[in-house]
Amino acid sequence: MSRSSLFGRGSRYSEIRKSLAAAPGARSAGFGDAPLQTLYAALAVPEEQVHVFTDVGMVSRGGASHRPARGLPPPAPKSPYAQGGVLEARGGSGGWNGTNGTNGTGSEYPRQKAAIYVLADGGRLGRLVEMLQSLDRHFNNRFHYPVVVFEENLLPVQKARLSAATRSPLTFVPAGFGLPAFIDERQVPNQTGCLPERGMGYRHMCRFQAGIVNRRLAELGYEWHWRMDDDSLLTGEVPYDVFGYMASAGKLYGYVSTVRDDDACIVDLWDTAKEYAQRLRLSSENFFGEWPRGAVYYNNFEVSHSSVFTSPQYRAYFDHIDQNGGIYMRRWGDAPIKSIAVSMFVSADRIHRFGDLGYRHAPFIDQEPAATRRNTGGAPRLLPRLALAWKPDAPVHSVIGSFHIEAQPDAALQQLLAPSDTAGGGAWIGADSAASVGLGPARGAASQTFVWLFGDTLVGSVSAAPGSPPQRVRRDAARGGFLVRNSVGALEVDARTRRPVGPMRFAWKPQVRIGEGDGPVFSASAGPREPDDFMWPLAGLSYCPHGTACKLVVIASQCAKMSGAVAGLLDGDAFTVRGSVAIVVHNPHDAADSWTYEMQPIPSPAYEGLVMWHAGIARADEHGRHDEEGEWAYFLGALGGWTKQILGRLPIADLARLDFGRMQAWSHASPGAAPGWSLVSALPRGDDFARSLVTVGGVSESSQEAGVWFHRAMGLWYIPFVEGTRLILRTARTLTGPWSSHAVYELPERWSPERDYFAYAVKSHPELAAEDEIVLTYNVNLRNNPDMGRLFDLGEADTYVPQFLRLQVRG
């Protein structure tokens, strides 16, 4: 619609039109009215004098249609060139729906045969309307891709409501849920332990999303599929064609985040997939072997090429999973089934993370758009380091039963671990974990030696220009490198005053050959493990049998570094935990680089990394009561993902011999049985072994590197750990519980998560505490720091150094 003065006879436009018609080649080019009038309007008409009729319905046979925007608020004034159109493909060769070039969408990428799809629930249409409108607002107003709505028995009025609520072209396709012929519905359990526990509908949905929906989309002619959930939202402008980008970049699978699935929802799934991979001898080029058990792509936002989930490889894999029956019998979800397949059939370099897009699926994922983040790197803006110099914090007060707790940092003890300002370049300048173990007092000595066990250790020096914060300096590779996987410290402590006698002495194995790098104290090569594995010692105790020398018993996590490509796909650490090992040092009073030791895996008859026994260790009697001479060594462990803390035990004499034949676990000997101690060898294997273990005290919180200690004045066992910004003590009278949790400290602003820090690895040091005290250390690290490079930034010299905290306990 236009005034006659704009395009009519005698107008400036008519003169331009005549000139173009007379131009060489104009007749063969066949210039049409639409592009000429559009170009002229862009040149001659002010933006505020252009109007888009979003509220008027229109159909042009063989061309396009435009639905009236019933129920929508009037559009805000906006340039039609930024807003795009609301065209819907009707076939034909022209218009924006072609498959080559940008075709008027403003995209820099060729248009793809692609669709966005969603599964509709008639009881949740309000949420779906909101999702479709966010899709219009942030993406499809420019790119106009069709939306396929899979549905079960939507009413015509419901379909009309959805069509009226969006400018995107909708196609409704019956989902066709149904039980496969090989499943007997009478055998399907009503409850599985995985939420939602009841009903068949969710299981039908999982099977549909895992094995059917992508085939349906391919049959409809779509080569690219973008999944959205009915209540997931785009929260910021998507400035490019996601399908075009994927195709142009050679990617096959796109996602926004990875999460960890509930162990109750993947019982036997990884074992089933592993069996399939081994049987078919799948190519070693895949990364299934590195992919952590339970890690899944959050597939309520998923962009994939049709070949990923419709290939013969995938169909054979899915049929194997499907016919196992786990989708219905165990409530396996589509996310883990498809995530495993991606690790088997898609190389890591063909997977893309859409980390720049704004996406929300409450309460699970809320990714801020890159354009609105506080800096271009995506990480939170950090406050100036000089403004955050260490200051004594005010004491934090709390109560545990009848005891009053006052917590405060200990600046004097902190000097024990202060990074050295050395010029030689070979000093200990930071590490984590920091468990301490006494070696037993020497006869007649006024002090006792305590060994400190550290994980990944930084080596180098610290420099500080006048007026500037200190900064770490890496030691170069030729002189031994800047990182060793573990180290130890030796500290003399006065037996009467419980104060340090002299500085801590740090040790690791020095460089043997130039260019090879220094070595850790504990090496995985000493045990029956892979050559590239490494150890993180996390806890220990001293065992001094009558008539023989004391031994140092250490428990450690056995880890493997992921390849950089796989680590980049995960929202987490760049390593996997293979399991737990016990280490017996026969000469702990000698220099650490000359220790002789043996090691053995702590048995766990389950999928690698599912059950771990290395969080903490303590001696107690057979009832779990504190006894420093108790015959039992108790292991504090955790299930994979650290969602549940568990308990095992072994006679201390057997542990010193690395004999695990009599190891027991706090467990249900049979389904429904009361908790009790059972031989590990008598319990079921695989995921059922993990399911038989009893969460300690019924407390579901856990920690990757928690330990367990006893406080005499309170008469309580305690497990310290960090939850968010709070330091928690979990306490109990006996090791088997019941346990309760108490917040005792709030981390200072210096270590705020808003500044990209996180705290972990809380350890207790009774040797440094009076009877009415608890001395703790906790470690602080930086997120998004897989190569540790940020720890060498200006002002970060005190990060990744265990922080001392002293708790006063008053009855």
- Cα–Cα distance measured from residue 268 to residue 121, given in angstroms and rounded to the nearest whole number: 30
Indicate whether 638 pLDDT > 80.
Answer: yes
- Cα–Cα distance measured from residue 250 to residue 411, given in angstroms and rounded to the nearest whole number: 54
Indicate whether 9 pLDDT > 70.
Answer: no
Higher pLDDT among residues 609 and 152, named by residue: 152
Say how many C-beta atoms besides its own lie within 10 A of residue 562's C-beta: 22
Q: Are 503 and 471 in contact (CB under 8 A)?
A: no
439 Cβ neighbours under 8 A, 6+ residues apart: 448, 449, 450, 451, 542, 550, 552, 588, 589
Mean pLDDT value across residues 559-576 = 82
Q: Are 459 and 472 in contact (CB under 8 A)?
A: no
Higher pLDDT among residues 197 and 287, named by residue: 287
pLDDT of res. 574? 75
Indicate whether 421 pLDDT > 70.
Answer: no
CA nearest 420: which of 493, 473, 465? 473
* Geometric angle at alpha carbon 366, from 361 and 370, rounded to 5°: 130
Q: Are 586 and 551 in contact (CB under 8 A)?
A: yes
Task: Read off φ and ψ for residue 373, nearest 5 degrees.
Answer: -70, 165
Measured in whole angstroms, how far is the alpha carbon of residue 69 from the centre of its chain? 41
Q: Which CATH architecture group holds 109-372?
A: Alpha-Beta Complex (3.90)
Parse the chain into domains and list their residue ranges. 4-60, 109-372, 385-810
pLDDT 10s digits, 780-796: 999 888 788 999 999 99
pTM for this model (two decimals): 0.77
482 Cβ neighbours under 8 A, 6+ residues apart: 458, 459, 460, 474, 475, 476
pLDDT band at 191 (very low <50, low <70, confident <90, very high): confident
pLDDT of res. 86? 29
Mean pLDDT value across residues 61-80 = 36
Helix orientation angle between 156-165 and 125-135, rounded to the nearest 10 degrees: 30
Q: Which of 266-280, 333-347, 381-395, 682-696 has the lowest mean pLDDT?
A: 381-395
Indicate whether 391 pLDDT > 70.
Answer: no
- Cα–Cα distance measured from residue 725 to residue 731, given in angstroms and rounded to the nearest whole number: 19
275 Cβ neighbours under 8 A, 6+ residues apart: none
Q: Which of 162-171, 230-239, 613-622, 692-701 has the lowest mean pLDDT?
A: 692-701
H helix intervals, 550-660: 564-567, 652-656
Mean pLDDT value across residues 225-250 = 97
Q: How would you label 398-429 residue by residue, b for 16+ Cβ within 10 Å and e otherwise?
A: bebeebebbbbbbeebbebbebeeeeebbbbb
Mean pLDDT value across residues 36-40 = 63
pLDDT 10s digits, 751-761: 999 899 999 99
Indicate whether 84 pLDDT > 50.
Answer: no
Q: Could you please report the per-residue DSSP string of 169-199?
A: -EEEEE------TT--GGGS-S--SSSS-S-
pLDDT band at 280 (very low <50, low <70, confident <90, very high): confident
In this structure, is the dihedral angle defined by the CA atoms of residues 384, 390, 392 and 398, taken in order, positive or negative? positive
Q: Look-up: residue for tokens 């069996």? A: 275
Q: Where are the beta strands (DSSP E) in 315-382?
A: 351-353, 359-361, 365-367
Q: Are 802 and 432 in contact (CB under 8 A)?
A: yes
Q: Which residues pair with 741 in a beta bridge?
A: 730
**Encoding tokens for residue 33?**
């009215």
pLDDT of res. 637? 93
Indicate whether 130 pLDDT > 90.
Answer: yes
Residue 291 to residues 327, 356, 364, 439, 563: CA-CA distances in angstroms? 21, 24, 21, 39, 10
- Cα–Cα distance measured from residue 693 to residue 702, given in angstroms and rounded to the nearest whole number: 15
Beta-strand relationship, 258-260 and 295-297: antiparallel
pLDDT of res. 377? 42
pLDDT band at 563 (very low <50, low <70, confident <90, very high): confident
Indicate whether 475 pLDDT > 80.
Answer: yes
Helix orientation angle between 334-345 and 269-280, rounded to the nearest 10 degrees: 30
